[in-house]
Amino acid sequence: MKTQIRAAELATLLDDAPSEVRYLSLDCFDTLLWRNVQAPHDIFAELAIEGGGVMPRTRGEGRARAAAEMFGRKDVTIAEIYRAMRPTASEEEIAAAIEAELDAEARHCFAFAPTVALIRAAKRRGLKLIIVSDTYLDPAQLRQLIARAAGEEVEAAIDAIFCSCDHHLGKAHGLFGHVLAALNAPGSSILHVGDNKAADYEGALPFGIHAVHFRQFDPACECRLRLEAGVASLLDPQVRATVPAYQPHRAQCALRVEEDAAWVLGHDVLGPLIHAFVRWLKDEASALAERAGKPVKLLFVLRDGHLPQRVFEAAHGSAFQTAALEVSRFTARCASYRDRQSVQDFVAAEKPHGRIDALARQLLLSEAEARSLAGGVPGVKGQASLALKVLEPEQVSAVVARSAAFAERLIAHVRSLGVEDGDAVMLVDLGYNGTVQNLLEPVLRARMDLTVAGRYLLLREDYAAGLDKKGMLDERHYEARVLQALGGPVAVLDELCTISQGSVIDYQADGTPRRKGSDKKGAQNRMRERIQDACVAFTRQADCGFDRPPASDGPDARRRMAAAILGRLLYLPTETEVRVFTAFRHDVNLGTDDMIDMLDIDAATEGLRRKGLIYLNEADRIYMPGELQPHGLHLNLALFSAQRFGLELRAADLRGAEVSLPVFLADNEGQTAIEAPAHRTHEGYYVATIPVGAGRFAAGVLIGALCEWVQIDEIGFYPVESFLAQRHDEGVRIVPAQVVKEGLHEQAPGLYRCDPGALLLVPPAPGLRAAPHLLAFTFRPLAFRDHGAEQRQAA
């Protein structure tokens, strides 16, 4: 028979058991009883200890175990732990504290369904059942806990319980010898199963026991669960202080069989997140129906509402009427112009971008009309002109009339979904500001007298719209900085939940959507569909790991779990997740054909080398955490912390070690020598910025005075204004320097051995007269020159 199994194999384990087996022996915690938390110490958060219970309880156990070790004992009782914590407490106080901990355990523990199935199979075969546990609880306490958490059927099936604290030694140190003596049975008559390889497998083998190591999770899943708990603590300081790190999805993740990256992402990550969302939606829809006094129709806003709709229908079947509402920010805006103010609100909110074509489509103008209003001037200046001209009465009248016609077509689409005048509808979307609801609700109320509510996975409104809006994650639960941080790279979630079709741009008279073409690759669509299928599969088997749910599994636990999963995915992605996203392109979805690569790891690497950690603050990337993942967890944690806590970090705060680079500057009037500071950035690189004016100075970098070996990444000119900007504009491109190298011997591309007098001579670049520039020199010293020992030490 197998000596190591996964959760899906537990229930049928006895099919291959040796014929001499008469006892099924089970470990208790994480085999029979699981906890609805990430780690055992999480339950201590609920103990009524000032300042939080986790640390005092953990330290108390450590002191009790250290004292026991002095007398050769390998385990302690819970009473000894609390006596170590509270040496002056009365016996009554110690008993009350123990009872409080047992209550917390009973609240969070549940029987793992496959293990219960194994117990039932054992009883059908006539086997006796024993529990052998490394625990500070005695057999009576453990039996009581099993009865409370797993139920009387499971407790009654247990013939004997053996606890390490009773014998002062654990399974890895000989506890199984006491078990065999008490049973008066040979080791070969016992089949033992447990999750700790050293204790449950290696500790049993010397006694001739048939041992099976039950592996709860693969290493990647175990890592994700640990990181999710850490993210939960970062999002909410109460977690692991007064609230555990809830993880009701642990058991179902353990039961996953498929191993490919797309399925794992959909099942273990997206599955519990979206399932928690639709559970919340069901409760919200029921509450809204009760208030409105009529059924509620759930309209899932496409395209990002596609997966939530699939999951909702898989979870709740025909209990509610659902439909896919094909509306986008673009079409909602097109239907929203009622008067001059509404037109002005749009043009005033548009950032300077110079896309006259995009503005034309959004304002229902032809491109020729828009160019005329822009005065034939392209770019930002043309945008400013258009914004003024379109507010003239004649233009406003045209826009409002076209918008009214557009709204009629959109309303026809709503009616085609089975929505009738006077209905109550719930717009369902991922979020995040509820712009579609802001724009569309007045139209729906005016033309159909609908009662409208908006429900979102994440809601972080830019302003209080005064509408019926809620998020599963919103300001009722988290401060604005948390919501803002989660909303940063959230396009990742959009891309996973969307439907594989073009965005709606208009409607036919009967309401049939007209969509723009989508140039997303078939491979991307197939990958997404597999991820979504796995998410739906999670929902169809929801809670299959529970023989009966733990008492602590409720809306609060699911919400906290969902926030932790989302934050972990957005900011601490795994290597395999990043590989999945590398091939993805994101649709901007504003009536244009603009597509953006989800990831550009090379661009992030260049940015870090050339700017250092300040790049994390400055760069405007769609999924920077994914781009940073190959560089190690520390950068993602730095980015997450800065975003979540709103840290005001400046370039000077993030500079690394500094070395001095000898430089001379020369023009027609002479030359001068300076020491240019070069700051460490990333991967051992340094960047020096040398002021060269508006194309006035030639620069000579005496690199040989500093380095014997050097790797050169970039030498070029940046406008001072853009290089020092608070936000790094990816569109700003360096003006490459024409470099004359003297005394540098290239050994490989970009790698040089330097003579002591090695010089990089950089003449002024043509065309830089308009504005001051910096000469940026990014390099990695591989060997400093001997007399640079002081600089080497400083670095």
The tokens describing 532, both together, are 């979504």
Q: Which residue has the higher pLDDT, 267 or 432?
A: 267
What is the band of 462 on the pLDDT scale with cuts at 50, 70, 90?
confident
What is the band of 670 on the pLDDT scale with cuts at 50, 70, 90?
confident
What is the band of 718 on the pLDDT scale with cuts at 50, 70, 90?
confident
The tokens describing 630, both together, are 């190959």
Residue 707 and residue 784 in contact, taking contact as beta carbons nearer than 8 Å:
yes
pLDDT of residue 792: 46
pLDDT of residue 1: 86
How many other C-beta atoms lie within 10 A of the C-beta of residue 265? 24
Which conformational region is residue 684 in: left (phi greater than 0), alpha (psi within -120 to 50 degrees), or beta? left
Which of 183-197, 379-393, 732-746, 765-779 bottoms out in mean pLDDT, i.e. has the lowest?
765-779
Give the chain's mean pLDDT. 92
| CA atoms of 98 and 714, how far apart (whole Å) | 65
Residue 539 and residue 274 in contact, taking contact as beta carbons nearer than 8 Å:
yes
What is the band of 787 on the pLDDT scale with cuts at 50, 70, 90?
low
Read off the pLDDT of residues 394-413 as tens digits, 9 standing for 90 and up.
999 999 999 999 999 999 99
Q: List 48's β-bridge partners, or say none.
A: none
pLDDT at 314 over 70: yes
Handedness of CA 277, 282, 285, 291 (dihedral sign): negative
pLDDT of residue 591: 46
78-85 vs 91-108: helix crossing angle, rounded to 10: 120
3-state secondary structure of 445: helix
| CA atoms of 555 and 545, how far apart (whole Å) | 18
Read off the pLDDT of residues 33-92 as tens digits, 9 standing for 90 and up.
999 999 999 999 999 998 899 999 999 999 999 999 998 899 999 999 999 999 999 999
| CA atoms of 514 and 327, how far apart (whole Å) | 11
| CA atoms of 501 and 467, how far apart (whole Å) | 30
pLDDT of residue 657: 83
What is the band of 589 on the pLDDT scale with cuts at 50, 70, 90?
low
| CA atoms of 629 and 63, how far apart (whole Å) | 39
What is the band of 593 on the pLDDT scale with cuts at 50, 70, 90?
low
The tokens describing 82, both together, are 């609390």
Read off the pLDDT of residues 93-110 as tens digits, 9 standing for 90 and up.
999 999 999 999 999 999
Residue 232 and residue 568 in contact, taking contact as beta carbons nearer than 8 Å:
no
Q: Which residues contact 225 (CB under 8 A, 6 or more apart)?
A: 38, 217, 247, 250, 253
Average pLDDT of span 320-339: 95
Average pLDDT of span 234-248: 96
CA R_g for the chain = 33
pLDDT of residue 331: 95
Percent of the chain with pLDDT over 70: 95
Domain ranges of the chain: 4-216, 599-653, 655-794
| CA atoms of 386 and 373, how far apart (whole Å) | 5
Q: Which residue has the higher pLDDT, 792 or 102?
A: 102
pLDDT of residue 355: 87
Average pLDDT of span 521-543: 92
Residue 309 and residue 300 in contact, taking contact as beta carbons nearer than 8 Å:
yes
Average pLDDT of span 318-342: 94
Q: List 595's β-bridge partners, or say none.
A: 587
pLDDT of residue 264: 98
Q: Match 């853009």 to its residue by tokens.
A: 722
| DSSP-assigned letters across all residues of 647-659 | ----HHHH---EE
Which residue, 532, 593, 82, 526, is CA-closest to 358?
593
pLDDT of residue 522: 79
pLDDT of residue 794: 46
Q: Which residue has the higher pLDDT, 518 or 510?
A: 510
Handedness of CA 716, 720, 726, 732 (dihedral sign): negative
Read off the pLDDT of residues 344-369 as tens digits, 9 standing for 90 and up.
999 998 888 888 888 889 999 998 99
Residue 686 and residue 707 in contact, taking contact as beta carbons nearer than 8 Å:
no
pLDDT at 194 over 50: yes
Average pLDDT of span 564-585: 94
For the whole model, what pTM was predicted? 0.93
Using CA atoms, how far residue 243 sits from 62, 233, 236, in Å, is: 22, 10, 9
pLDDT at 518 over 80: no
Dihedrals phi, psi of 698, to nearest 5 degrees: -90, 150
| CA atoms of 38 and 22, how far apart (whole Å) | 34
The tokens describing 2, both together, are 């197998």
Which of 7-21, 489-503, 504-518, 762-776 bottoms out in mean pLDDT, i.e. has the lowest?
762-776
Task: Domain 4-216: give its CATH code.
Answer: 3.40.50.1000
Read off the pLDDT of residues 123-140 as tens digits, 9 standing for 90 and up.
999 999 999 999 999 999
Read off the pLDDT of residues 560-574 as tens digits, 9 standing for 90 and up.
999 999 999 999 999
Read off the pLDDT of residues 681-708 as tens digits, 9 standing for 90 and up.
999 999 999 988 877 789 999 999 999 9
Dihedrals phi, psi of 475, to nearest 5 degrees: -70, -10
The tokens describing 86, both together, are 């509270």
Ranges of H-type helices in 265-305: 271-292
What is the band of 724 on the pLDDT scale with cuts at 50, 70, 90?
low
Percent of the chain with pLDDT over 90: 78
Which residue, 504, 538, 79, is CA-closest to 333?
504
| CA atoms of 297 and 199, how far apart (whole Å) | 55
Ranges of H-type helices in 2-53: none
Read off the pLDDT of residues 420-453 as tens digits, 9 standing for 90 and up.
999 999 999 999 999 999 999 999 999 999 999 9
What is the band of 184 on the pLDDT scale with cuts at 50, 70, 90?
very high
